[in-house]
Structure 1
């Protein structure tokens, strides 16, 4: 899988500079940037500030807040110099993304207070694409980034947004900058980086639509897998996630997780929800492991961690799992995780774990 990274950050920045350079002789401080309250000058400084802040957080492994500094231009910096600052801060983010290993996460507030290298790359790209649109609109310049860049931002940061007729039009609508037929205007939005739940030996890493698409097509989803992985059940679950995303019903926090072994960074299986909770707060879970990882307690550990995350939520009343009668190892997993058998027929056994209300 080709992960969104430094090359895409540089592509976005190059497109920004090329679009805005024809207007460097104008006074950007006197031109409003599209529908923003900022001028084009303020917006360009904001882009550069975000790019270097993302690079700093990722490089510095920030845990609870942004690294405490702010970009300031030298007095007298003209628009050409400002574009050079945007290029430079973009290069810093691209280099940081390239040199950061996959499992590293650093602080970003939305929505789960961390992001990985792909998330920081996508946020940097989004800032560049969207604010170049704002500035180009204010300056009366043409601008349209590639659909590949817009699609990567949507699949990484907007997993809750149903794809539209074109990625760029959908991204503009999703950020309150455009209209889509049949959809209400967007008045508020946030990034949506993927959820990671820590277990004892594993990290449950939320699979994003871009990764689910690659898994469903036979790829690795960007993960390094233990021998024999990914297992068929994980690919099937990725397909269900992708179908929900394309249908506009995907809730990312109730998606699918890769079980990544912390000691070596390898994925050993998949676990997740079949859908969001129903009207009674019940939600079904499923899981699988590569054959080489079975018999070591990973599935039980992961299921307990998932339950510990889900059951305190007000929209979850219980987790349940349906298991084939002959699958005694899986029955043992749910039993060790605290589930109890609530029904049995020829099609399967139903187990449930209720929230302690």
Structure 2
């Protein structure tokens, strides 16, 4: 399970053009692309248009809308020329992804109004793989992308989808293009880029399954950590995230966030939810910082940003935290944010060793 990058875009485009060259002499305008309403020619143009639009938004740092231009083919462009356009626009997206500085995000409408370089790479790969499948169905030619490429795409853009027995059938099912034994048919779907929540001195960056997997195995999750972090609590939270993903119950907006400092791009800690809100809208939170970031108000700032985001949602009515009695600094953090002491329920530790706090909307 690898984070998406420019190499994935290049691989996807190469597989697409190799498959479609087998039918380059066919009339693509006369054949419908699988279950789409478009013909195969229109679908191929759409792929190229998306690739260049993603490259432009990322390279141009678009913030509120797509960069205002549209791809137009020269009159008389044949299918071979159209494949060359797909190769070229794919190369531009791959280059934009490879050269984007860490932390850069640009506009994409769904679902959180932005995506980072990994997200744009994954969206480009998704457009290529899925629409090549659609065109291959219409042209009646074989096509199946590499399993590792599809697995990386699922972990990046479909963190809410439980992995299936094989990546490609799972992606086709998740996008309404196929069936998967034991799962209901999908009629509506969306991919999900990771959520980021801004704070004054850092950004709360949503952790994707691929990064969580790496952290669980002792890696850095793709982040540059202060003082050789992360702290053990962040690795444990990443492990819980992976269990939820593998079990099909992960909701990315209620996952784990890494605190990435603006001044130097270093990760200084982790914070997030222990699960989704219960039927009463109550959800538990936890956090930790690497040692070199403690005592500077970072935890208070991060918790306040997360609390403001969560309590603005209709499905969250209160936040809950459990803190060890001798952890005085952590008690001070929740108190400064506005949490108040409450009685605990179903403690797994002796009541004398744990304190419980709640912040209501």
TM beyond 0.5: yes
Distance of 2:192 and 2:288 partners within structure 1: 26
Q: Which residue of 1 aligns with 2:330?
A: 330
1:313-334 alpha-carbon deviations (Å, 9 max, x no partner)? 1111100100001111110111
Q: List per-residue Cα deviations over 1:290-326 (Å, max 9, x = no partner).
A: 0011111100000000000000111111001000011
Aligned partner (choices 331, 339, 348) of residue 354 of structure 2: 348
Q: Does 1:108 align with 2:108?
A: yes
Aligned alpha-carbon RMSD (Å): 0.9
Kindly indicate whether the alpha-carbon contact (under 8 Å) linking 1:228 and 1:291 is maintained by their aligned counterparts in 2.
no
Structure 1 segments (4+ residues) deviating >4 Å: none
- Segments of structure 2 that go 5 or more residues without pairing to the other structure are 345-350
**Whole-angstrom CA distance in 2 between matches of 1:40 and 1:318:** 50
Distance in 2 between residues matched to 1:152 and 1:61, nearest whole Å: 25
Determine the structure 2 residue equivalent to 1:281.
281
For the residues of structure 1 that align with 2:228 and 2:16, how far apart are their CA atoms?
43
Q: CA deviation at 1:2?
A: 4.9
Shift of 1:228: 3.0
In structure 1, list runs of 5 or more residues that go unmatched: none
The CA deviation string for residues 97-120 of structure 1, in whole angstroms up to 9 with x for no partner, is 000012000000110000000000
Number of equivalences: 355
**Residue 147 (structure 2) pairs with residue 141 (structure 1):** no
How does the TM-score come out when normalised to structure 1?
Answer: 0.98
1:160 positional shift: 0.6
Quote the residue 2:184 is aligned against: 184
**CA deviation map 1:181-213 (0-9, x unaligned):** 111111111120010000110100000111111
Distance 1:171 1:343 in 2: 45
The answer on whether the counterparts of 2:2 and 2:152 sit within 8 Å (CA) in structure 1 is no
Contact 2:2 2:210 in 1 (8 A): no
Q: How far, CA to CA, are the matches of 1:247 and 1:240 in structure 2?
A: 10
The equivalent residue for 2:347 is: none
2:68 aligns to what?
Answer: 68
Contact 1:17 1:87 in 2 (8 A): yes
Counterpart in 1 of 2:256? 256
Instruction: Tell me what 2:81 maps to.
Output: 81
Which residue number corresponds to residue 130 of structure 1? Answer: 130
Q: Aligned to 1:227, what secondary structure does the other structure show?
A: helix
The whole-number CA distance in structure 2 between the counterparts of 1:293 and 1:250 is 29
1:213: which partner in 2?
A: 213
Q: Equivalent residue of 2:320, what SS?
A: strand
What SS is found at the alignment partner of 1:16?
helix
What do the CA deviations read for 1:69-91 (whole angstroms, capped 9, x no partner)?
A: 10000000000000000000000
Q: CA deviation at 1:23?
A: 0.5
TM (norm. structure 2) is 0.97
1:1-357 equivalent positions in 2, closer than 5 A: 2-343=2-343, 345-355=351-361
**Whole-angstrom distance in 2 between the partners of 1:330 and 1:172:** 45
**How far apart in 2 are the matches of 1:243 and 1:139?**
40
Q: 1:9-59 CA distances to partner (integer Å, 9 max, x unpaired)?
A: 000000000000011101100011111100000000000000000000001
